[in-house]
Every structure is written in structure tokens, then in C-alpha cells.
Amino acid sequence: MSKTLLALSVGLFCAAGAQAASFSTTTQSLGNAPAAACPTGPGNLSYNTDCAPVQGTVACGADGLATTAENSYYRRYVLAAGTTPGASVSSVHIGIESTTSGTGSDVTGMEVRVYTIPTSSALTTANLTLIGSAPFTSPDGNVLAELDLPISPAAVIDDPATKDIVVELFQPDLEPSASAFVFGSNGTGSGITYLRAPDCATPEPADIASLGPFSAVKIIAALAGQGLPVSLQDFTIE
């Protein structure tokens, strides 16, 4: 057999053996993390009441999330009336469900991004204005962990009367490196978690409950900063 035919045969075999990406949860048994209340009080905002991640985040990936495709989770914070112009986000507290490296080194490329969006606008990527971000890595085997990510410089909301805060938790396509990363969630609190996953036919943020039996998945993304209200305004855009 020629080298060309051999290479083609191997390529076809690998493609046939690999599973197509789909929405699922990890098949690993990760144990339990102790409960940990989210920070409260002036300058802190969170839809979750508990910030400890539990197993069960849904993500786009393959082989029981042995590898993960690109996933972005979003939380939208509609600020209460009277929030001071110039309020800012200086850190975002997130959860990590699991980290699996196909190379043995840290998994890289994840990022937390802070945006504003007009209060009257639907949550689409075109309507978002980036005001801050924080890249991060996670070591192989890091499971059921919490992480505080400083936003520097702080992300400033110039007009909270007409704009909301949106936080994106971004994870790149890790399938080429046979790696996986899953953000942390639990079932506490309120608010909608949105998920964008291009490889799973979800190119724009969608209510995670509309993608399957995932209404209990509430992504952890707690904000800390200056001038943020102690409560959130209830608001829904169809």
C-alpha cells in the first residue's frame, strides 16, 4: 500500500472512530465540593446563592465530554434603578467543574469577558460591547474548584440606566488537543444561563433550558466591583 493510501486509510479510520459533538454532561465521577456561599453585600452581584460547583454542567463535546468543543456561557445582569454611572466590575468569581489535558500540561485559552448591552436589546453577539476581560489557564485534573479572576483595568458601565452587564465564560475548541474543560455550575439561585456552542448548532446565545433538560444548570459568575447595586432588576426580553 502506498504512503498516500495508508495516510488516507488512517485518516478515515480516525474520523469514523470519533464521535460528533453534542450536548452532554461529563461521565466522570467527580465527588462533591463543600458548600460555599457567594459573596454578598455592597459591590457584589450573583444570581447563584452558592458558589461551589457541582457535577452536571452541560457542554458541547464528544465521548461524554472527554473532549470539549467551543462553549461560551453568558449571564446577563439587569442593574437596579439608581445604579451610579461609572459603576465598575473589578473581578469575576467562577466555578470549574473539570479539567482534562490531552498533553499533560495546563489547559489554556479560556477567558472571562465583561460586556455592556442596551437594556432593550436581545442577547446576541452583535449587540455586545466588550469592556473588560481576563484570560486564564487550568491545570490537568483541576475539578470542582472556584477561581477569582481580576478584571484589570476595571470594566466600567458608563450608563447603567440604559445598559446591562453581560458576562461571558469562554472556552475554546479543545478537541484538536484531546483536552476538555467544563465551567462550574450548580442549581442554586435564579436567572437564565445562556449557552453558545457553534459545533452543536447553537451559533448565538440560547437559554440553556431550551437546549434540553438542563434548567437546573446555573453557571457560576459572581461579580465584584464598585457602585454595583445590592439587588438586580427583574427583566425579560423575548
Give the model's pLDDT for residue 12: 32
Asked whether the predicted pLDDT for residue 11 surpasses 70, the reply is: no
Asked whether the predicted pLDDT for residue 14 surpasses 50, the reply is: no
> Which residue is listed with cell 442554586?
188
What is the model's pTM? 0.88
Q: In the chain, what are the domain boundaries?
A: 38-171+181-226
Give the model's pLDDT for residue 230: 61
pLDDT in tens, 79-107: 877 788 899 999 999 999 999 999 999 99
Do 196 and 219 form a contact (C-beta atoms < 8 A)? Answer: no
Give the model's pLDDT for residue 83: 84
Higher pLDDT: 229 or 19? It is 229
Dist. CA 171–CA 198, nearest whole Å: 12
Asked whether the predicted pLDDT for residue 150 surpasses 90, the reply is: yes
What distance lies between CA 205 and its chain's CA centroid? 11
Least confident of 2-6, 30-34, 83-87, 182-186: 2-6
CATH T-level assignment (fold) for domain 38-171+181-226: Jelly Rolls (2.60.120)
Asked whether the predicted pLDDT for residue 198 surpasses 80, the reply is: yes
CA distance to 31, 62, 102, 168, 180, per residue, from 25 (Å): 15, 10, 19, 20, 12
Q: What is the mean pLDDT of the chain?
A: 88
Give the model's pLDDT for residue 233: 53
Asked whether the predicted pLDDT for residue 196 surpasses 70, the reply is: yes
Give the model's pLDDT for residue 107: 98
Share of the chain above pLDDT 70, in %: 88
